[in-house]
Amino acid sequence: MSLSRVCRLVNAPLVMVVWMLWGHGIAVSAERPIAGARIAVAANFRDTAEAIALHLEAHSDYHYDIIVGSTGKLASQVINGAPFDVLMAADRARPQRLVEEGYAVAGSQRTYALGELGLWWPGAVGPIAIGDLSALNPREICLANPALAPYGSAALTVLREAGFSERYLAGLVRVDNVNLVTAMVTQRQVRAGFIARSALVIAAKRDTVQMDETEILWFSDHEPIHQALVLLDHAQHNPAAHFWVEQIDHPAVRELIRAGGYQLRPLESTGGG
């Protein structure tokens, strides 16, 4: 992935300055097409969003910049004036809240993917059970920060349902987003971590991380993680942003989502995110 195509969170202030200059008629770049949109994407969906951007750019005159971060941080940046056009969250609650608070277009929110949570424990002996984590020090287990990342919140729910004490849970290692959990386990900074199924797909494509299915416990019996998008108020009259939202249900785009490690919602289930 080209770094020039992905606006990291650390570049958000620069993005806002450029947008302000552009909005006042000051030419800042001859390279960026006017018909473009900035898509704020939950970290787990980064690679799939990039694939969607390439597909839509190949079939339109629009250009897309992908901004990556945890759902919680991206939503906060929207509230604080970040010039994003679409938010692709890893939950339904934040898009709905943005609509209710006047930061997003009512009726535009919809579920675009169903994510699956897993526990990756390299070197675990035999089939993994959630209760086996009690043999580890909580500092050896990593999850995405539940306050920022829906996958982390889902992991915390699983652990509570399994009977782990609040004292034990307080000792778990927390990182900003679910992609960082994969990195922590890969680098052996922790022994086990709660990951997204998309991490397994990315690992297979890049061939940079060795992930064995026998070392992962998938929580397929739990409710999938409903990931919803919403058109932000900033983009009400942006055709590129509208095109992105409209094309999410296109068969080719849905196939990209499925190939990224996600389940697909039934097309008739469009209401309320």
Q: What is residue 17's predicted lDDT score, i.e. its pLDDT?
A: 42
Q: Do residue 201 and residue 138 come from a single domain?
A: yes
- b/e string for 16-50 if b means 16 or more Cβ within 10 A? eebbeeeeeeeeeeeeeeeebbbbbbbbbbbbbbb
269 belongs to a structural domain: no
Q: Do residue 235 and residue 108 come from a single domain?
A: yes
Q: What is residue 24's predicted lDDT score, i.e. its pLDDT?
A: 43
Q: What is residue 268's predicted lDDT score, i.e. its pLDDT?
A: 60
Q: Do residue 29 and residue 40 come from a single domain?
A: yes
Say which CATH number the domain at 202 has. 3.40.190.10
With 0-12 / 13-18 / 19 or more C-beta atoms within 10 angstroms meaning exposed / middle / buried, residue 273 is buried
Q: Do residue 13 and residue 54 come from a single domain?
A: yes
CA 126, 134, 184: angle at the middle one, nearest 5? 80
Q: Do residue 122 and residue 174 come from a single domain?
A: yes
Q: Do residue 99 and residue 182 come from a single domain?
A: no
Q: Tokens standing for 95?
A: 């898009």
Instruction: Give the count of domains, the chain.
Output: 2
Q: Do residue 151 and residue 97 come from a single domain?
A: no
Q: Do residue 152 and residue 52 come from a single domain?
A: no
Q: What is residue 34's predicted lDDT score, i.e. its pLDDT?
A: 53
Q: What is residue 204's predicted lDDT score, i.e. its pLDDT?
A: 78
Q: What is residue 125's predicted lDDT score, i.e. its pLDDT?
A: 80
Q: Do residue 8 and residue 36 come from a single domain?
A: yes
What is the pTM assigned to this prediction?
0.83
23 belongs to a structural domain: yes
70 belongs to a structural domain: yes
CA 131, 133, 137: angle at the middle one, nearest 5? 145
Domain around 250: 3-114+227-259
Q: Do residue 166 and residue 150 come from a single domain?
A: yes
- Mean pLDDT, 10 residues at a time, the chain of 273 residues: 39 43 40 78 97 98 97 98 98 98 97 97 90 97 97 97 98 96 94 94 78 89 95 96 98 97 79 45
**Which 3 state secondary structure label does DSSP give 142?**
strand
Q: Do residue 25 and residue 85 come from a single domain?
A: yes
Q: What is residue 205's predicted lDDT score, i.e. its pLDDT?
A: 81
The answer to whether 113 and 264 are in contact (CB under 8 A) is: yes
